[in-house]
Amino acid sequence: MSKRINFNDVQPGAYDAMDALDKFVEETSIDKVHRELIKIRASQINGCAYCVDSHSHDALELGAPLQKVLLVGAWREAKNIFSEEEKLLFRMTEEITLIHQHGLSEETYQKAIDAFGKETTAQIIMAIVTINAWNRIAVATGLRPPHRKKSFVSAN
């Protein structure tokens, strides 16, 4: 693949707008590890290796157990690894990321409202929308994960 544009260099205003969305998401009531798990799952679906790598490391640095980070993509089969709240976050992430299939289903939406309330549900939706936008920028511009000299090892 040819070297592609650096979005921040070519369109800094657009990058700043995306950064503002990130800052909004960072200030929400969503648990920090849960935000990273959302980002990992959406990035897996979108095939964004750069973001999967980045947010997996971020989750580990925040104290997420290594087993959880490794099993995000197989969350349905990973019995007793993820909480019901995390499973709901993954369902929301998949339905919103794969919006062309059927969108956020009424069942999932109602479960989110019941579990998180309206305000946090809106925040979760924005977190999912934001990582999907970043994934599209990263994939379109050919961002690749850096070669890491040292792998992250967690005691969790």
Q: Can you give the pLDDT at residue 150?
A: 64
State how far the alpha carbon of 128 is from the alpha carbons of 43, 45, 134, in Å: 10, 12, 10
Half-sphere exposure of 17 (CA within 13 A, CB side): 7
CB 134 within 8 A of CB 54: no
Tokens linked to 76: 């349905």
Alpha helices in 62-146 (DSSP H): 66-71, 84-97, 106-140
- With 50 as the cut, is the pLDDT of residue 154 above it? no
Residue located via tokens 């009531």: 29
- pTM for the model: 0.91
pLDDT in tens, 2-52: 788 888 888 899 999 999 999 999 999 999 999 999 999 999 999 999 999
What is the set of domains in the chain, with CATH numbers? Answer: 14-140 (1.20.1290.10)
Read off the pLDDT of residues 52-100 as tens digits, 9 standing for 90 and up: 999 999 999 999 999 999 999 999 999 899 999 999 999 999 999 999 9
